[in-house]
Every structure is written in structure tokens, then in C-alpha cells.
Amino acid sequence: MELGLRDKQVMVTGASEGIGRSIAALFAAEGARLVLVARGRERLEELARALHEKHGSQVQIAPEDLSDDAAAGRLTAAYPEVDVVVNNAGAIPGGPLEQVSQDTWRKAWDLKVFGYISMMRESYTRMVARQSGVIVNVIGASATGLDPSYAAGSTGNAALEALTRTLGSKGPDHGVRVVGVSPGMVLTGRLEALLKVRARERFGDESRWAELGAHAAFRRPAQVEEIAASVVFLASDRSSYTSGAVLEIDGGFSRRHNWWG
């Protein structure tokens, strides 16, 4: 299927690993020109080389820490004509309200919540001015499958879903689309580490971590490529009438059970 992404300039934050890396790879396969954003320069350089060698992609890297309020402004000033912005940077630690300190909560939100807000503010304003553009926010299914053991994450993700729907409802008046993807359990390095902790707590043996993943929908976590494919499709011309929507991708599991079985 031709997605109409060839030669579009796409900025992906949190691009150096996990879902972000897979998103970048799929956009490269579609012929997009990439701007890859993450804190670590070396991983970005390695990914840029790999994508150029495999796809002949034009790839630029932008090492930035998006928990810095000024970072979004620097990025949009350096790349003012970006067609698609994918917000993906950040992870919020687990824990119930009484166990997550105020400092931990604030630091996590500085990157995942306020980092997204800053990127949306800067990129949305520029896209409205030129009457075109797409913003895709990678959020998290805990926004709707609320989990009291993930208080900071559920609350932050719910806020991001609300802002995605808010901007997405107005953006089409100016030729701009804002959409979201909310993954559930996805097999990233971070999830594997978390499952090992849970396996130690439950079984006394971290090597049994895969057994916890087997409690997910389809008896497995999602693969990063499954999330990335939805992001790329929503960003494409094939999804040109979609705005203000958030696609939950967790196999329906958060509607049925606690994620950990």
C-alpha cells in the first residue's frame, strides 16, 4: 500500500531504542526523510547509519533532552518544515501514589508529559501557520485501563490523551491532524526488565519473566513493529480524515484483566 510518505520530513523523538527505533525504521522504509531525536548521540548515530545503509534514507540526528523546556523550541527552529512529528520520548515509573515521591513524579512528567506538551505547542503552532502537518503521540493504554499501581503513568497518559483529542478536534480547521496511539504491554527492553522484577516478586526467579508476558492478550506482549505500523499508517495520507482519535493497542486486555495476570 502506498502511504504517501516518500520525501516527507518526519521527526521522531525517543528514536534510539524500542518503539521509537521501530517507528523510525518503518518511516525510512516508506522513503521519508528523518530527524531522529534522543538524549544519546552515539545510539542516534548508529541508527542513522543503519537506516541509510538499508534504505538510502536521508537521516539527521538531533541529540536533545526533551525534559528541558527549551529543547522543543530549538528543534522546531532547526527543522521548521517538518511534516510529521512523532512524540515518543519518555517513560514514567510504576508505583502507587503513596510510593512515588514528588520528585520522581515531577522528573518523569517533565519528559513524558511536559516534553510532549512543549513539542505539541511548538510544532502545532508552526503547522497551523502553514496549514498542514501531522502530530502522532505515542501515549499508553493505562490512560483508559487505569491502574492504581501505576498512578503517575495512568494520570500522565490520561492528560496526554485529553490534549491529543483537544488539539485534534480543532486542527482540521487549519489543515493539521493530531492523533494518538496508546500501546499496552510491548516487548521492549524496559518491559523485559520490569517483568523480571515482577517475576522475582511473584516466583522468586527472574528467569520466569516470560510467564508473566503470557498473561497478555494473544498470550504475548505486542511487538514494537506492531505499534510502529499503526503510527506510520496514522501519519500517512491513507489516514487523512483521522484527527482527535487515540488508537488503543493492547489486544483489548486492559478491558478484561490486570496486566500482570
pLDDT at 24 over 70: yes
Q: Please name which of 226, 225, 219 lies closest in space to residue 249, comparing C-alpha atoms.
A: 226
Residues 137, 213 contacting (CB under 8 angstroms): no
The pLDDT of residue 214 is 79
The pLDDT of residue 258 is 52
Residue-averaged pLDDT of the chain? 92
pLDDT at 209 over 90: no
Residue identified by cell 542513522 is 48
The pLDDT of residue 105 is 92
In this structure, what C-alpha cell is assigned to residue 161?
490523551
In this structure, what C-alpha cell is assigned to residue 173?
480547521
User: What's CA 155's distance to the chain center, in Å?
Assistant: 16
pLDDT at 196 over 90: no
Higher-pLDDT residue of 99 and 216 is 99
Confidence of residue 170 (pLDDT cuts 50, 70, 90): very high
**Whole-angstrom distance, CA of residue 77 vs CA of residue 122:** 9
pLDDT at 54 over 80: yes
**Whole-angstrom distance, CA of residue 22 vs CA of residue 226:** 9
The pLDDT of residue 128 is 98
Confidence of residue 146 (pLDDT cuts 50, 70, 90): confident
Q: What is the mean pLDDT of residues 37-44?
A: 96
The pLDDT of residue 149 is 85
The pLDDT of residue 199 is 84
The pLDDT of residue 260 is 46
- Classify domain 9-186+223-248 by CATH architecture: 3-Layer(aba) Sandwich (3.40)
pLDDT at 188 over 60: yes
Q: Please name which of 162, 153, 143 lies closest in space to residue 109, comparing C-alpha atoms.
A: 153
Confidence of residue 94 (pLDDT cuts 50, 70, 90): confident
The pLDDT of residue 201 is 87
Domain boundaries, the chain: 9-186+223-248, 187-221
In this structure, what C-alpha cell is assigned to residue 193?
526488565
List, for residues 103-120, the tens digit of each pLDDT value: 999 999 999 999 999 999
Element (H, E) at 135: strand 133-138
